[in-house]
Amino acid sequence: MSELAEALRSHLGARAPRVALVLGSGLGALVGAVADPKRIPYAALPGMPVSAVSGHAGEVVIGHLAGVEVVILSGRIHYYESGDPAAMRPALEALKAVGIEILMLTNAAGSVNPGIQPGEVMLIEDHIAFSGRNPLIGEPSDARFVGMTTAYDEALRRAMLNGAAKAGEALHRGVYLWFSGPSFETPAEIRMAKVLGADAVGMSTVPETILARFLGLRVVAASVITNMGAGITGNELSHAETKEVAPLGGARLARILTQALPDIAA
């Protein structure tokens, strides 16, 4: 077991969560809904990849959400911070080592679908790894040949859709396309993403989904839409806007999750 996994295990004590959540840009407020939280800064966890992106808290939160024991990673390192698409691998391996079976990934994203607007939430049904990078390059075992046909777990998706219905919240469904960032896209790139079949674009989640499937974790993922893709409205995009709008959709995602988590964990 890695030093990071050992540290996580000792913080967990007698708790045995099976569900972990990764919170994207501006979505840290979800932590406020955690009952009996235990908060551990990433800096206090040896080997934990630390993101320097503003809007990412950088802490592990252990506690209960909707009565379900969870581990939350509030903040994630991105491919664009180091050029390493496997930057999250030690964190995901540690989660697996301490008994996590289900990984919920969240992100802030731009919409390329006029039917999905800022402040709304999109359940990721499938993805396009458009950055061209794969976090399993260099992995020597045959396990690297991961099937991605049902990368986003069907039963978990159903639980999210049922949760949204119970919460009375709209939950869109769509395809997430991964651009490396950190610059935002051009209008031509956004038109291309649409032609390729994307509904939303963003700078994370895809490498983590690939790694999680490699590790045998079940994955469910959702995007909080913070803006329309470049060129759609004529407004310039900014990280300030992402951080400002994300909490609106984040509150919606929290209401959906509150209803869905018991089914997700079942």
Residues near ligand HPA (CB under 6 A): 108-110, 179, 184-185, 201-203, 226-227, 229, 237, 242
Identity of the residue, 76 or 96, whose beta carbon is nearer to ligand HPA in the bound complex: 76
> What letter would DSSP give residue 173?
E
CA-CA distances (angstroms) from residue 207 to 99, 108, 151?
21, 15, 12
Identity of the residue, 204 or 259, whose beta carbon is nearer to ligand HPA in the bound complex: 204
The least distance separating ligand HPA from the CB of residue 178, rounded to whole angstroms, comes to 9
The least distance separating ligand HPA from the CB of residue 184, rounded to whole angstroms, comes to 5
**Residue 210 backbone phi and psi in degrees, to 5:** -60, -45
Residue nearest to ligand HPA (CB): 110
Identity of the residue, 110 or 207, whose beta carbon is nearer to ligand HPA in the bound complex: 110
Identity of the residue, 55 or 63, whose beta carbon is nearer to ligand HPA in the bound complex: 55
The least distance separating ligand HPA from the CB of residue 227, rounded to whole angstroms, comes to 5
Instruction: Look at the block and give the residue holding tokens 């919409």.
Output: 111
Q: Which residues, at least 6 apart from 163, have a Cβ–Cβ distance to it below 8 Å?
A: 171, 256, 257, 258, 259, 260, 261, 263, 264
The least distance separating ligand HPA from the CB of residue 245, rounded to whole angstroms, comes to 9
The least distance separating ligand HPA from the CB of residue 24, rounded to whole angstroms, comes to 8
Instruction: Look at the block and give the residue holding tokens 């984040």.
Output: 250
Measured distance CA(226)–CA(171) in Å, rounded: 15
The least distance separating ligand HPA from the CB of residue 221, rounded to whole angstroms, comes to 14
Identity of the residue, 25 or 259, whose beta carbon is nearer to ligand HPA in the bound complex: 25
Identity of the residue, 174 or 229, whose beta carbon is nearer to ligand HPA in the bound complex: 229
Residue type, 119: G
Closest CA to 247 of 34, 28, 66: 28
Q: Which residues, at least 6 apart from 20, have a Cβ–Cβ distance to it below 8 Å?
A: 70, 71, 72, 73, 95, 100, 102, 103, 104
